[in-house]
């Protein structure tokens, strides 16, 4: 096993337990915090921490060290940029003009993205597509409605996920500030999440009942995270991912 998902009362405890299980040091792994955990109050609202620890290959360890140096360099550059921003903000008129410009470019980015989606839909012989948008900070939610919704979703959401990734590329081409495009068709995302959460509980119960590992079919990182989160409060099982994308899948194992 070159990766493990560990649950513990705190993040540090979860990391240390995972390192002991893997038999490696902190410098040899990549750590993803799935859930930070909560201490709660008077015993209520307690939520354990969940981390995903992956053993790095030798080449990756070198890359991580180089990346850390790059991050330090970027942080210095960002500090210099921050000083420039402070200077700019000392001139109110310029700040307002800049803000208006960023808003305009983001509006253009969304418009171009919607146009791109419509063009793809026409290629798929979908002529009744209606797109509504909703902005929440850096997120732009685009809701797609059509009588041929199934074509837009695809098998287990694969078409929708691919279209969302392509739409993000289009938006990045035209926007001057960071925005995130989120696509949904007929509330598919919500229904899929509920389905995965219910499936996660059933498979976790099966793993505990039989004492055997339960393996899921390959899923996207987003869907694997839904299952990780759904099972993060359980202390009788652990979850971890195996393989490489696009064939990476999740495993549930009972803790004896």
Query: So where are the chain's domains?
Result: 3-63+204-254, 91-186
DSSP 27: G
> Positive or negative CA dihedral for 14, 16, 21, 25?
positive
How many C-beta atoms surround the C-beta of residue 150 within 10 A? Answer: 13
- pLDDT, residue 113, reads 95
Show the tokens assigned to 227. Answer: 């299952």
Query: What CA–CA distance (Å, rounded) separates 134 from 106?
Result: 13
Show the tokens assigned to 129. Answer: 């597509």
Indicate the SS3 state at residue 5.
Answer: strand
118-177 residue pLDDT tens? 999 999 999 999 999 999 988 999 999 999 999 999 988 889 999 999 999 999 888 888
Q: Are strands 214-215 and 249-254 parallel, antiparallel or unpaired?
A: antiparallel
Q: For 94-122, what is the mean pLDDT?
A: 77
Would you identify the CATH topology of the domain 91-186? GMP Synthetase; Chain A, domain 3 (3.30.300)
Greater confidence, 251 or 245?
Answer: 251
Percent of the chain with pLDDT over 70: 78
Element (H, E) at 139: strand 139-145
pLDDT exceeds cutoff 70 at 37? yes
What is the pTM for the complete model shown? 0.56
- pLDDT, residue 1, reads 52
- pLDDT, residue 34, reads 84
Cβ-in-10-Å burial (0-12, 13-18, 19+) of 73 comes to exposed
Name the average pLDDT for the chain.
81
Greater confidence, 88 or 225?
Answer: 225
Residue labelled with tokens 């803790």: 255
User: Rounded to the nearest 10 degrees, what angle do helices 58-89 and 92-123 cross at?
Assistant: 130
| CA nearest neighbour of 213 among 251, 175, 172 | 251
Greater confidence, 152 or 90?
Answer: 152
44-65 residue pLDDT tens? 556 788 888 888 765 544 444 4
- pLDDT, residue 33, reads 83
| Length of the chain in terms of residues written | 256
pLDDT bucket at 91, cuts 50 / 70 / 90:
very low
Cβ-in-10-Å burial (0-12, 13-18, 19+) of 45 comes to exposed
Percent of the chain with pLDDT over 90: 45
Longest dimension (CA), the chain: 68
């Amino acid at each position: 096993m070159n990766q493990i998902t560990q649950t513990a009362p705190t993040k540090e405890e979860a990391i240390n337990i995972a390192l002991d299980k893997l038999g490696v040091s902190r410098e040899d792994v990549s750590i993803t915090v799935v859930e930070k955990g909560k201490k709660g109050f008077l015993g209520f609202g307690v939520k354990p921490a969940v981390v995903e620890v992956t053993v790095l290959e030798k080449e990756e360890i070198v890359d991580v060290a180089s990346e850390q140096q790059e991050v330090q360099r970027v942080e210095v550059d960002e500090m210099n940029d921050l000083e420039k921003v402070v200077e700019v903000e000392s001139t109110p008129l310029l700040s307002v003009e800049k803000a208006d410009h960023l808003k305009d470019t983001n509006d253009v980015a969304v418009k171009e993205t919607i146009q791109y989606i419509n063009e793809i839909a026409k290629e798929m012989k979908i002529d009744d597509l209606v797109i509504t948008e909703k902005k929440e900070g850096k997120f732009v939610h685009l809701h797609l409605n059509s009588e041929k919704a199934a074509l837009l979703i695809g098998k287990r959401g694969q078409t929708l996920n691919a279209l969302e990734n392509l739409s993000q590329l289009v938006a990045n081409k035209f926007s001057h500030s960071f925005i995130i495009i989120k696509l949904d068709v007929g509330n598919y995302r919500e229904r899929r999440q509920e389905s995965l959460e219910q499936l996660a509980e059933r498979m976790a119960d099966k793993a505990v009942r039989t004492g055997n590992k339960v393996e899921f079919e390959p899923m996207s990182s987003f869907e694997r995270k839904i299952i990780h989160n759904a099972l993060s409060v359980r202390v009788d099982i652990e979850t971890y991912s195996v393989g490489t994308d696009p064939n990476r899948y999740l495993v549930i194992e009972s803790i004896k």
